Amino acid sequence: MGGQEQDREHDGTPRRVLVTGGAGFIGSHLVEHLLSLGDEVTIIDNLSTGRMRNLEGALDRVRFIEASVSEGLPRLGDDEFDEVYHLAAAVGVELVLSDPVGSIRSNVIETDAVLRFALEHGKAKVLVASSSEVYGKPGTSVFSEGDDLLLGPTTVTRWSYAHAKAIDEHLAIGYAHQYGLDTVCCRFFNTVGPRQIGRYGMVLPRFVQAASRGEPLRVYGDGTQTRCFCDGRDVAHALPALLRADARTERVFNLGSDRPITILDLAKLVIRTLNSTSAIDFIPYDVAYPVGFEDLRHRKPDLDRIRAAIGFDPSYSIEQTVRDLFAQMQSEIRVEGGVS
């Protein structure tokens, strides 16, 4: 930890923080948390997946630049930052499958631009949002940070995202080793909650939206595949704690829940929690994703490393997340319909 940052922490001066993708699902929750900590926040977001409504109540307290990362960084001039949270990325299975070239460019070139900017402007600490996708399809039932990565062939489009995020991690670790930049990578597992949208294949908002309308919940495959779902608000609170942890010695951390649930049971939970009359439809993968898709049967993180670093323990139950996501969706419907 540099002397300048130590002084800033001791004298109570607000940290200067840059958040890319700050209008997104996780990014907006992070921005709110940083503001609650007294930090000065600048956001760069091109609003391709983020939404201004996610920042309601925060816009008058942040500097917002609507641009891609590589276009927005030069507009910061000579500004220096203490911390950078790089969350801007191409996300969602459907988006990656429909635009693999754009997704790769966004996830690799923009990450390098952020790291180079941080190095040249105050040598800020940088947190890079990565993904559990980098594990590929290992034979283990629990994914640990030190595991070998087993990615699928380059001819299967689905794996382009995993390759790109792995390169992002290599870049972040390379900047740390080669230039002394303090970097950390967070491999997000399935993150869900208010402000998430189902447009790009996100399962929980799709389920909640369908259940709220009494429409069938579409479960891909036989529904026995398992995932561990963590609320985005838990994730957002963990990020600054991790970047600021004095005891942090590792560069890569899993971040999510380690409580698995089958997708079929998730659908049933949503229906039950919302008292919905919806049925469940099973959709074959080749119908849901006709081009270049492979699924993993199970995905569960080993959280020992992040627990040792910051004592991470998710606080939101999946039922609470479902209720809050439903309430947010209903609120947006009332606003769009002109109901006060």
pLDDT in the model for residue 94? 66
pLDDT in the model for residue 5? 39
Q: Name the band, by pLDDT with cuts 50, 70 and 90, for residue 207.
A: very high
Whole-angstrom distance, CA of residue 263 vs CA of residue 57: 34
Looking at per-residue confidence, does 226 or 338 come out higher? Answer: 226
For residue 6, pLDDT beyond 60: no
pLDDT in the model for residue 246? 87
Does 220 reside within a domain?
A: no
Number of domains in the chain: 1
pLDDT in the model for residue 156? 84
Range of weakest confidence among 105-109, 207-211, 261-265: 105-109
For residue 286, pLDDT beyond 90: no
227-240 confidence digits (pLDDT tens): 999 999 999 999 99
Does 100 reside within a domain?
A: yes
Range of weakest confidence among 89-103, 120-134, 293-307: 89-103
* Average confidence score pLDDT of the chain: 90
Looking at per-residue confidence, does 160 or 173 come out higher? Answer: 173
Does 248 reside within a domain?
A: yes
**CATH code where residue 167 lies:** 3.40.50.720
Cβ pair 264, 219 in contact under 8 A:
yes
Q: Name the band, by pLDDT with cuts 50, 70 and 90, for residue 287.
A: confident
For residue 1, pLDDT beyond 50: no
For residue 292, pLDDT beyond 60: no
Q: How many CB atoms lie within 10 A of CB 17?
A: 26
pLDDT in the model for residue 204? 95
For residue 311, pLDDT beyond 50: yes
Does 14 reside within a domain?
A: yes
Does 200 reside within a domain?
A: no
pLDDT in the model for residue 293? 61
What is the residue range of 70's domain? 6-192+231-257
Residue carrying the six token digits 């930890």: 1
Does 169 reside within a domain?
A: yes
pTM as predicted: 0.91
For residue 151, pLDDT beyond 70: yes
- Is 161 an active-site residue? yes
Q: Name the band, by pLDDT with cuts 50, 70 and 90, for residue 200.
A: low
Q: Which of 161, 175, 220, 289 is catalytic?
A: 161
Does 128 reside within a domain?
A: yes
For residue 98, pLDDT beyond 60: yes
Looking at per-residue confidence, does 306 or 156 come out higher? Answer: 306
Q: Name the band, by pLDDT with cuts 50, 70 and 90, for residue 102.
A: confident
Does 141 reside within a domain?
A: yes
Looking at per-residue confidence, does 219 or 11 come out higher? Answer: 219
pLDDT in the model for residue 125? 97
Which of 44-48, 91-95, 135-139 has maximum average pLDDT? 44-48
Q: Name the band, by pLDDT with cuts 50, 70 and 90, for residue 290.
A: low
Provide, rounded to the nearest whole percent, the portion of the chain with pLDDT above 70.
Answer: 91
Beta bridge partners of 183: 126
For residue 7, pLDDT beyond 50: no
Vertex 186: Cα angle to 1 and 308 (nearest 5): 65
pLDDT in the model for residue 2? 36
For residue 260, pLDDT beyond 80: yes
29-74 confidence digits (pLDDT tens): 999 999 999 999 999 999 988 999 999 989 999 999 999 999 999 9
Q: How many CB atoms lie within 10 A of CB 225?
A: 17
Task: Using alpha carbons, list the distances in angstroms from residue 120 to 18, 116, 180, 200, 242.
Answer: 14, 6, 12, 35, 23
